[in-house]
Amino acid sequence: MKPAESSKSNLIAPVHRLARPTIRSRMSVLHRRKARQAVMFGLTGASLVLTIGFLALLLGFVARRALPVMSWEFISQMPRRGMTEGGILPAILGTVYLVAGSVSVASILGTATAIYLTEYAQQGPIVKFIRAGVNNLAGVPSVVFGLFGLAVFVKLFGLGVSILSGSLTLAVVILPTIIRSAEEALLAVPKSYREASLALGATKWQTVRYAVLPSAIPGILTGCILAVSRAAGETAPIMLTAATFFTARLPQSMLDEVQALAYHIFALVTEGTHPEAQKPIAFGAAFVLLAIVILLNLSAIIIRAQHGKKE
């Protein structure tokens, strides 16, 4: 062997000896990453199965106890014999009235507030303070809103225990949700839309109305539907401002008190005089309320999916 070749082989040998541990270490790192990925995938999958399991268990528990009373008559008839027979029509209509009234007020105020905060207000400490206040308002217990509605709408404004008082109280409850969802929807609209509209000579309001709002409407509607789901399930605010234990007639005006599904369930379970006969009715009302909330949430998902396809 020539001296040059021997020296070359002497140089290559250490390189091979150094390369082998490097490859092995890379393979071990790769195996560790795959192992971590498998563990995290298993944990997230188990969380999903656990969540769906809890939901299925809840639905099955309520549905099994509601089946004996579920029928068209149960949904379409008035209660009879001290709410031991008949249906829950007044509670269903009362829930619809309260939710429709609250969303009508909160959607307008919430969207207008979000437009001002995102499009007109100068971003600074005051706006940050307002946003922090809105976020904190979303975490206030619902019974506090009920006391507020009782003091302001029922007593101060003289509206009494009525649909109007309950609707205004629920509007305050869901207002933070609508403001935040509307803000997120408006901020998601590309800045280029605004710049192009202003470049064409449009005013600020014309830009918001014709360029920004049409793109943000699906997100705003999704927030409103989710707020409806929350309003439909609230008990404490309407217990103090709108709901009654029993009524023999349907409400005739916005100043009448009304039955509602959430309070109806609470009243049957806690204040019912014939628990054996009224407990299945309570489970039937709970099943109807769950069905309404699930349908509303599904509609929000559908709206979001359709908006995604258009984009």
What is the rounded distance in angstroms from the CA atom of residue 214 to the CA atom of residue 207? 10
What is the rounded distance in angstroms from the CA atom of residue 138 to the CA atom of residue 131? 11
Whole-number Cα distances in Å, 300 to 226, 228, 274, 294: 7, 11, 39, 10
For the segment 239-257, what is each residue's pLDDT rounded down to a tens digit?
999 988 887 788 888 899 9
Q: Which of the four pLDDT bands, split at 50, 70 and 90, describes residue 38?
A: confident
28, two tokens: 């071990």
Q: In this model, does residue 8 exceed pLDDT 50?
A: no
pLDDT at 278 (0 to 100): 80
CB-based contact 94:243 (threshold 8 Å): yes
pLDDT at 88 (0 to 100): 87
Whole-number Cα distances in Å, 294 to 55, 237, 289: 11, 22, 9
Q: In this model, does residue 151 exceed pLDDT 80?
A: yes
Neighbour tally for 176: CB within 10 Å: 21
For the segment 252-285, what is each residue's pLDDT rounded down to a tens digit?
888 999 989 988 888 888 876 777 778 888 899 9
Spatial CA neighbour of 226 closest among 84, 109, 106, 88: 106
Number of H helices, E strands in the chain: 12, 2
Q: Which of the four pLDDT bands, split at 50, 70 and 90, describes residue 52?
A: very high
What percentage of the chain reaches a pLDDT higher than 90?
Answer: 28
Spatial CA neighbour of 235 closest among 265, 210, 211: 265
Q: In this model, does residue 19 exceed pLDDT 80?
A: no
For the segment 62-91, what is each residue's pLDDT rounded down to a tens digit?
888 888 888 888 888 888 877 777 788 889
pLDDT at 18 (0 to 100): 47
pTM: 0.80
Q: Structural domain boundaries of the chain?
A: 1-66, 72-310
Average pLDDT over residues 189-207: 90
CB-based contact 221:178 (threshold 8 Å): no
Please, what is the average pLDDT of the chain? 84
pLDDT at 307 (0 to 100): 66
Instruction: Kindly write down the DSSP assignment for every residue of 64-106, as one continuous string.
Output: HHHTTT-SHHHHHS-EETTTTEE--HHHHHHHHHHHHHHHHHH
For the segment 199-245, what is each residue's pLDDT rounded down to a tens digit?
988 889 999 999 899 888 888 888 888 888 888 888 889 999 998 88
Domain 72-310 CATH (choose: 1.10.3730.10, 3.30.2020.30, 3.90.800.10, 1.10.3720.10): 1.10.3720.10
Spatial CA neighbour of 106 closest among 189, 203, 18, 178: 178
What is the rounded distance in angstroms from the CA atom of residue 284 to the CA atom of residue 223? 28
Q: Which residue has the higher pLDDT, 165 or 85?
A: 165
Weakest-pLDDT range from 16-20, 57-61, 183-187, 228-232: 16-20
The C-alpha angle 238, 65, 83, rounded to 5 degrees, equals 50
CB-based contact 238:263 (threshold 8 Å): yes
Neighbour tally for 187: CB within 10 Å: 14
What is the rounded distance in angstroms from the CA atom of residue 183 to the CA atom of residue 303? 18
Instruction: Kindly write down the DSSP assignment for every residue of 166-228, as one continuous string.
Output: HHHHHHHHHHHHHHHHHHHHHHTS-HHHHHHHHHTT--HHHHIIIIIHHHHHHHHHHHHHHHH
